Structure 1
Amino acid sequence: MSEHSRPLSRSEEKRQRILETAMDMFCSQGFANTSMDAIAREADVSKQTIYSHFGSKDDLFVASIRTKCLQANLSEDLFNEQESVGQQLQRFARLFTELVLSDDAIRVFRTCISSADQLPHLGQLFFNEGPMNVITLLTLYLQRVTERGELAIANPHGAAVQLLMMLMGEGHLRRKLGLPYDTQSAAHHEYLRSSVELFLRGYRA
């Protein structure tokens, strides 16, 4: 049995339940209005259990964001060096947009925006653990393929941001406004394909 399919221990189950409960409450009630006591009651655990897993409410928020990225498979394991750069970036594009356009991601984004005046540090926590981690992941990959001579990118960080912003496209604008957008549609898949191809043409070695 693989690590990913093995049954969770009681401690892991509690941790997962705390994370899911916290994210739901942060998004529905707002970060400032969600107490650790309320999370403990809703998750059916003691407050001491929460603090044994997470040192503070900020740490719990950060862990929730990190977990969403890992569940979306946005990690170093995403890139398979046996495939072409185009194939790897196409897979990255699909997983990235499925995450960033998901209901959970949009809810967290709105929570940070609504809290920006009273809790500006919340946006920084989200940016560091979510967007910045993805930017760094893609930047390091683009550095590697540039060093191998497969692409010619003078500024991998800037190129990573360019690609990410292009991939978000109309879908992110629509989702932020509460409008429907289907990440499984043929139109979306074609948009991702053409965006990656445009990116590769621009940075072809």
Structure 2
Amino acid sequence: MMEKKCSEILRRGHAEKRRSVIDAAAVVFCREGFAGANIDLIAAEAGVSRQTIYNHHGDKDKLFATVLRDIIERMNVRAFAILDTFPNQPDDLEADLVAFALRFNKNCIWGQEGKLVRKMLVAEGERYPELFEMWRKEGPGKIESALAARLARLAHSGYLDIDDPDVAARQFMALNDAELNLPSTFGKSLSDEEVLVAVRRAVRTFLRAFGRPAGSPLAAAATQEA
């Protein structure tokens, strides 16, 4: 019994130490860039020895990849939770999509982790194209596929006119980010009203491209069912 308890304490301590190193490395990589970061800085930030970092994560390159994967995994958990709130049977399609897009922006794209991964990719994407490709497939790629399935259901129900749900999902994500990307990337703080106006314009543009005309039979049937 005592051995089991000690083993559990050791595992918990190992996990907590690993978590502290990853969090500290994310802070240092973001602050210093890859070139300016080093194991000693990360060890000091985490409050561990440099040998602990080598034992848990290997060299700086491997640690950078681990940090990026960890951030993507956490972002995906949050993104799929928001996707669960997608309006499958909207009362007001435009208003419901705007509300969904705002939730997604706030909690995923421009949340703390979203800003962090963008900064890291802007700084190091050219140096590590394989990491950029991993982010694209494991992050936006998975999210866009899940969004495409939800948009396809809206089309099947008569709310949208979509030939290719994957293209529609990429367009929705791109429009949702279009007006916010540049100012946010360069540190401008946007007010809630500015974000709302940008998202409304994005959703309206999306619906001009993919929405069914109000008088069409399928649109009328969808409205009646809702």
Same fold flag (TM > 0.5) = yes
Shift of the alpha carbon at 1:139? 1.3
Query: Percent of counterpart pairs with the same letter?
Result: 25
Write out aligned runs for 1:97-116 (5 A).
Answer: 97-98=105-106, 99-102=108-111, 104-116=113-125
Q: CA separation in 1, counterparts of 2:73 and 2:125?
A: 20
User: Which residue matches 2:23?
Assistant: 20
RMSD: 3.3
User: Which residue matches 1:195?
Assistant: 202
Q: Which structure carries more helix by proportion?
A: 2
| Larger RCO (CA within 8 A; separation ≥ 6) | 1
Which structure has the larger Rg? 2
Write out aligned runs for 1:1-205 (5 A).
Answer: 13-14=16-17, 16-31=19-34, 34=37, 39=42, 42-44=45-47, 46-47=52-53, 50-51=56-57, 56-57=62-63, 58-71=65-78, 74=81, 76-79=83-86, 81=88, 83-84=90-91, 85-86=93-94, 88-98=96-106, 99-102=108-111, 104-182=113-191, 184=192, 186-205=193-212
Greater Cα offset, 84-93 or 10-19: 10-19
Count matched residues: 192
User: Which residue matches 1:3?
Assistant: none
Greater Cα offset, 126-135 or 96-105: 96-105
Shift of the alpha carbon at 1:198? 3.6
Task: Give me the TM-score of the superposition, normalised by structure 1.
Answer: 0.72
Task: Give me the TM-score of the superposition, normalised by structure 2.
Answer: 0.66
Residues 78 and 62 (structure 1 numbering): CA distance in 2 closer, same or farther, change over 3 Å?
farther
Q: CA separation in 2, counterparts of 1:151 and 1:29?
A: 46
Task: Name the amino acid aligned to 2:99.
Answer: R
Instruction: Check the 8 A contact 2:162/2:168 in 1, yes or no.
Output: yes
Return 5+ residue gaps in structure 2 as ranges: 1-11, 213-226
Task: Name the amino acid aligned to 1:17.
Answer: S
Instruction: Check the 8 A contact 1:37/1:47 in 2, yes or no.
Output: no
Shift of the alpha carbon at 1:159? 1.0
